[in-house]
Amino acid sequence: MRSPVHREGWPAIGIFVGLNALLFLFAGPFGWIGVPLTAWCIWFFRDPERVTPAGGWRVVSPADGRVLPFAVTPPPAELGMGDTPLTRISIFMNVFNVHVNRVPCEGTVIALAYRPGKFFNASFDKASEHNERMAAHIRSTGPDGREIDLAVVQIAGLVARRIKSDLTEGQQVTRGDRYGIIRFGSRLDVYLPQGIAPLVAEGQHVKAGETLLADLAAADLAAADLATNGTTAEDPTT
């Protein structure tokens, strides 16, 4: 049976429990002051089960949290995915959200790239560009054999000092699988392929492995419309 606490949390929990025990030992009843902090630390590293939507060629949220304003910007340069601007969905995780990250779609890990950086508040837009991050390039293959690339980026926040990713290059991944964790407070960015529109709204609260972010099959509809009418479904002139 899987532990309800992520394995990365046990060292931190041990420190909190030990300090709380010392507080009881040397300060008597004042030790109760540390109990809420210890309880919070255990709660922070919780790792609940999730029911990932089955079937389809879809992208699920890699993190729990709040959807920040969308941006259209190139993916991280270190992934080598080019400089074409893509729709970026950013999810901000506060210190009360589940911080276990999940794979957004089925596919193959093409590249991984770690980049050190600063520690701005993860809710700031500049965090995507300047903060420490771990980026992954995933190539997903649809039922028709067509391949689509997307990027998912773990980004450290104001108090986050550890990004953990279990992915390896060449690894086959399944939508909704656990793949890492960030502590404490952070964000994840998902760069959607061209022609794919988000299925979530800015300000919406999402759940890792459960909330649908996008439908990759929608690219088929856009391509078909372009071939038939010379326009896309999102073309404002149609």
Residue 169, pLDDT above cutoff 80: yes
CATH architecture of the domain with residue range 58-223? Distorted Sandwich (2.70)
pLDDT at 230: 47
Secondary structure of residue 195 in the 3-state scheme: coil
Residue 160, pLDDT above cutoff 90: no
Cα distance between the two ends of the chain: 54
The mean per-residue pLDDT over the stretch 134-162 comes to: 88
186 is catalytic: yes
Q: Which residue has the higher pLDDT, 31 or 212?
A: 212
pLDDT at 55: 85
Contact 165, 112 (CB under 8 A): yes
CA distance 132 to 192: 21
Residue 148, pLDDT above cutoff 70: yes
Report pLDDT digits (tens) over 117-130.
Answer: 877 777 778 878 88
Q: Which residues have C-beta within 8 Å of that of residue 195, sequence separation ≥ 6?
A: 218, 219, 222, 223, 232, 234
Q: Which residue has the higher pLDDT, 166 or 55?
A: 166
Secondary structure of residue 234 in the 3-state scheme: coil
What is the identity of the amino acid at 9? G
CA distance 49 to 2: 9
Residue 229, pLDDT above cutoff 60: no
Q: Given pLDDT bands bounded at 50, 70 and 90, which one contains residue 227?
A: very low
Residue 78, pLDDT above cutoff 90: yes
Mean pLDDT of the chain: 86
pLDDT at 74: 94
Share of the chain above pLDDT 70, in %: 89
pLDDT at 131: 86
Report pLDDT digits (tens) over 38-49.
Answer: 998 888 889 999
DSSP string computed for 138-165 = EEEE-TTS-EEEEEEEEEE-SS--EEEE
The mean per-residue pLDDT over the stretch 89-96 comes to: 92
pLDDT at 238: 36
Residue 77, pLDDT above cutoff 90: yes
pLDDT at 129: 82
